[in-house]
Structure 1
Amino acid sequence: MAEIWLVRHGQASLGTDNYDQLSDLGHQQARWLGQHLRARAADRPVHLVSGQMARQIQTADGIAESLPLASRAQMDAFNEFDFESVVMSWLEQNPGYPLAPSPSAAELRRLLYSAMGAWAEGQLSLPAHKECWPAFHQRVASGWQQLAPAADSVMMVVSSAGAIASVLRHVMRLDNAATLELNLQICNASLTRLVRTESGTALTAFNDVSYLESGDRAHAITFA
């Protein structure tokens, strides 16, 4: 039996010129998660794979400060989809959408859900070089299928909410609506655990941030 841990990156830099960098809190989340996972690993070898985006690599760096690794690699299959292009394309097609100058987290969530819903239904006019919905899921599924965790080991994949939801879509045979709902639930620096055996793959935990639920860390449960 092999465990596979799917980890979402820490809080990124929403509202700045470069979202693809961890915030100070995001770096702290990654370090806390590394400390939490060290006990969970229970002396098993941990093989870490991350996407190639800066926020994913930086999260892996923070985890690795406390969690000794047997190996480390990067796979572009676990990069996030280009959500900025998806949102901008949707806004261009819906010029009357009432977007506030400084939208709240809830307003951004509604916007992203609408844009992703249109993307999933093939209703966006994306540039030709941008991924369509099926291509994104095909890319992630290909990366998932390449993972070959050894028995009694842990394979950790540090990625993003969209890619994690895509893995679960593949494993659990989810439809578009369920995939979108899972995507928007996934917290920063959360842990989703699966077990792979000869008979298949089973989900054993989803979106776990229990290590952040104590009083002095509750502020660190974030979604962006």
Structure 2
Amino acid sequence: MSELVLVRHGQASFGAASYDKLSEKGVDQVRCLYDHWKELGYRFDHLYCGSLQRQKETAYELQGLLKSPVSKPSELIGLNEYNGDPLLRIYARDKNKEVYDNPVIDLPIREPKLFQRTFEEATAKWINGSLIPTEEDNDFEFWSDFKERVNHALDEIMGRHCDGSKVLIATSGGVIAVALQKVLQFSDRETINTNWMVHNSSVSRIRYGKGRLSLAQFNNLPHLERLEKQDMITYR
């Protein structure tokens, strides 16, 4: 059996000028994972990531675990996270139209708990087709299109490496959730709820071969289990 080892990127830079960059804690999280695997003697045959900066930075930190050195990881756009900005923008626009004299959502949202609550409301409408983009929303991606490109990327990787390979993938929570849906046949609602569970730098494993897929591990944090590292566990 071959294996996909999916790692969610380290903590990104919420509230900064650019979210798409690992925070200092995010870099430390991934380096802890690297050290853990290196100590155990883990090695991987191939390394993939999306084209987002936080994914590439995560892959870069893990690159030394490859059996054969490469100049850079293989990039597949299909491994990119969905863009949350248009989801929030359309959701806020629709909500604020309902109470024109007193807008209820002011973007950007800086408070983490309020952001998460609003984002969950927006994605709930996204997956059931209730978010309707206008011509201005050219960065919007439909839920069905997101799932299709993720599944295409996973199929492409598994098609390339079906010889007992261990394939390391640095990606994001939404991609990992869709990968689990592929294996476990989750509903869309269960899939997006799974998205919220995925920790930064966590490890999920999918084994494949002979037409079969099986989940071997989900959302594991072996590198952060020590008591002194508990404060490094994050969702965002």
Structures share fold, TM-score greater than 0.5: yes
- The alpha carbon displacement at 1:53 in A equals 0.4
Q: CA deviation at 1:99?
A: 6.8
Aligned 8 A contact 2:2 2:209 in 1: yes
Is residue 15 from structure 1 mapped to residue 10 from structure 2 by the alignment?
A: no
When normalised by structure 2's length, the TM-score is 0.86
Partners of 2:40 and 2:116 lie apart in 1 by 32
Q: For 1:94, what is the secondary structure of its paired residue?
A: helix
SS at match of 1:30: helix
Aligned to 2:89: 88
Describe the shift of the 1:48–1:216 C-alpha distance in structure 2 as closer, same or farther (beyond 3 A). Answer: same
Corresponding residue to 2:166 among 134, 137, 154: 154
Q: Give 1:177 shift.
A: 1.1
CA–CA separation in structure 1 for the residues paired with 2:41 and 2:169? 14
List gaps (5 residues or longer) in structure 2.
Answer: 97-102
Cα distance in 1, alignment partners of residues 10 and 50 from structure 2: 13
- CA deviation vs aligned residue, 1:112-161 (integer Å, no higher than 9, x gap): 21110000111112225521110000010110110132433211111111
Cα distance in 1 between the residues matched to 2:165 and 2:42: 10
**Separation in structure 2 between the aligned mates of residue 59 and residue 42 of structure 1, nearest angstrom:** 17
Q: Distance in 1 between matches of 2:90 and 2:144?
A: 17
Question: In the TM superposition, what whole-angstrom CA distance separates every residue of 1:27-68 from its partner, at most 9, and x where no partner exists?
Answer: 11111111223356645x421100010000000111124x13
- Equivalent of 1:68 in 66, 72, 90: 66
In structure 2, the residue matched to 1:114 is: 121
> Structure 2 CA distance, aligned partners of 1:212 and 1:151?
31
Are 1:214 and 2:221 counterparts? no
Alignment of 1:173-184 (within 5 A): 173-184=185-196
Separation of aligned partners in 1, 2:126 and 2:21 = 25
Question: In the TM superposition, what are the counterparts of 1:135-174 in structure 2 within 5 Å?
Answer: 135-148=145-158, 149-174=161-186
Cα contact 1:48–1:69 (8 A) shared by 2: no
Higher CA-based Rg: 2
Name the TM-score, length of structure 1 as normaliser.
0.91
For the structure 1 residues 14 and 42, does the alpha-carbon distance in structure 2 shift closer, same or farther, using more than 3 Å as the test? closer
AA of the residue aligned to 2:229:
R
2:210 is aligned, of 173, 198, 207, to 198
- In structure 1, list runs of 5 or more residues that go unmatched: none
Root-mean-square deviation (Å): 2.0
Q: 1:13: how far off? A: 0.3
Aligned equivalents of 2:41, 2:219: Cα separation in 1 = 18
Is the Cα contact below 8 Å between 1:120 and 1:133 reproduced in 2? yes
Q: Offset at 1:102?
A: 4.2
Match of 1:25 in 2: 25
Return the offset for 1:169.
Answer: 1.4
Residues paired across the two proteins, number: 221
Deviations 1:59-78 (A, max 9, x none): 0111124x134353110000
The one-letter code matched in structure 1 to 2:66 is: P
CA contact (8 A) 2:83 2:139 kept: no
- After the TM superposition, which of the residue ranges 164-173 and 115-124 deviates more from structure 2? 164-173
Instruction: Give the Cα separation in 1 of the matches to 2:40 and 2:169.
Output: 15
Comparing 7-16 with 29-38, greater Cα deviation is found at 29-38
